[in-house]
A and B are shown apart, each in its own frame.
Chain A
Amino acid sequence: MDQLLQALVSGLLLGGFYAVMVLGFSVIWGVMGVINLAHGEFLMIGAYMAWGLFRFFGMDPFASLVLILPFMFLVGYLLQIVLINRIVERPHLMTLLVTFGVSIAIANLFKIQFTSDPRNVAVAYNGSVQLAGVTFPIVKTIIFGVALFIMVCLHLFLQRTRLGKSIRAAAQNKTAARIVGVDINRVYAITAGICIALTAAAGAMLSPTQAIFPFMGPPFTLKAVTITALGGLGRIPGALMGGMVLGVTEIFVSTYVPGIGTNLGVATSFILLVLILVVRPQGLMGGLRPIDAEAE
Chain B
Amino acid sequence: MGAEPPANKSTERSKKKPPFPLLAPVRSLLSGWTGLAFWLLLLLLLALYPYTGVSSVALFVGSQIFVLVTLASNWNLIGGMTGYVDFGHAVFFGIGAYMMGILVTGTPLLISPEWGFWQALPVSGVAAALFALLVGLPTLRLKGPYFSIAMLGTLVAMREIARVLRPITGGGVGLNLPPLLNRLGDYYLMLAVMGLVVSLIWWIQRSEFGQSLIAIREDEIGAEMRGINTTLHKIAAFMIAAFFTGIVGGFWAWQNTYIDPDVVFVEARTVEMVMMSMLGGLGTVWGPPLGAVVIYYMEDLLWANLFDSHLLALGVLLVAIVLFMPEGILGTLGDRSSTSLGRLLSRVGRSK
Interface string of B21-50 (1 = CB under 8 A from A): 000000000000000000000000000000
- A263 lies within 8 A of chain B by Cβ: yes
Contact B157 A294 (CB under 8 A): no
A278 within 8 A of B: yes
Give which listed residue, A86, A175, A264, contacts B164 with CB less than 8 A: A264
Q: Is the CB of A100 within 8 A of B318?
A: yes
A103 CA to B218 CA in the complex, in Å?
Answer: 29
Number of B residues, CB within 8 Å of A: 59
Contact, CB under 8 Å: A222 / B152: yes
Q: Please give the distance in Å from B75's CB to the nearest CB on chain A.
A: 13
A interface residue numbers (CB < 8 A to B): 33, 35, 37, 83, 86-87, 89-94, 96-98, 100-106, 108-109, 111-112, 175, 178, 218-219, 222, 225, 260-261, 263-267, 269-271, 273-274, 277-278, 281, 290-296
Tell me which residues across on chain A come within 8 A of B232, comparing CB atoms. Answer: none
- Residues in B lying within 8 Å of A, measured CB to CB: 1-3, 83, 85, 87, 138-139, 141-146, 148-150, 152-154, 156-157, 160-161, 163-164, 217-221, 267-268, 271, 274, 278, 308-309, 311-312, 314-319, 322-323, 326, 341, 344-352
Q: Contacts A92-B144, A111-B308, A261-B164 known; list 6 others, CB within 8 Å.
A: A90-B348, A100-B318, A102-B319, A278-B142, A295-B341, A295-B344
- Contact yes or no, A296 B318, CB < 8 A: no
> Complex formed: what's the CA distance from A218 to B309 in Å?
19
- In the bound complex, what is the Cα–Cα distance between A266 and B153 (angstroms)? 8
CB contact between B144 and one of A37, A93, A104, A261 (< 8 Å): that residue: A93
Name the prevailing secondary structure of the A interface residues.
Answer: helix
Please tell me if the beta carbons of B145 and A277 are within 8 angstroms of each other in the complex.
no
Kindly provide the distance from the CB of A169 to the nearest chain B CB, expressed in whole angstroms. 16
Q: How far is the CA of A90 from the CA of B341 in the complex (A)?
A: 13
A101-B316 contact, Cβ under 8 Å, with A93-B144, A96-B85, A295-B144: yes
Given A112-B309, A281-B142: A104 in contact with B267 (beta carbons within 8 A) = yes
Across the interface, A263 reaches (CB within 8 A) one of B144, B146, B160, namely: B160
Nearest chain B CB to A233 CB, angstrom units: 13
A295-B311 CB under 8 A given contacts A90-B347, A263-B160, A266-B157 = no
Interchain nearest-CB distance for B225 vs A (Å): 12
Contact of A270 among B146, B157, B164, B345 (CB under 8 A): B157
Chain A neighbourhood of B146, CB < 8 A: 277, 281, 291
Given A100-B87, A264-B160, A89 and B312 contact (CB-CB distance below 8 Å): no
A229 (CB) vs chain B CBs: closest residue? B146
Residues of chain B contacted by A294 (CB below 8 angstroms): 143-145, 351
A35 contacts B145, C-beta separation under 8 Å: yes
Chain B neighbourhood of A37, CB < 8 A: 149, 152
Q: Are A263 and B2 in contact (CB under 8 A)?
A: no
Contact B323 A291 (CB under 8 A): no
Top 9 nearest A-B pairs (CB, nearest first) are A294-B144, A105-B315, A101-B318, A104-B315, A89-B2, A270-B153, A108-B311, A101-B319, A270-B157
Closest approach, in angstroms, between the C-beta of A296 and any C-beta of chain B? 4
Complex CA gap A243/B191 in Å reads 49
Q: How far is the CB of B60 from chain A (nearest CB, A)?
A: 25
- Tell me whether B152 and A105 are in contact (CB under 8 A): no
Chain A residues whose C-beta falls within 8 Å of the C-beta of B149 in the assembled complex:
35, 37, 222, 225, 273
Q: Give me 11 A-to-B residue pairs in the complex whose CB atoms sit less than 8 angstroms apart, sorted by A's number.
A: A90-B349, A90-B350, A98-B322, A100-B87, A101-B316, A104-B311, A104-B312, A104-B314, A222-B153, A271-B157, A273-B149
Interface centre among A96, A219, A270, A292 (most CB of B within 10 A): A270
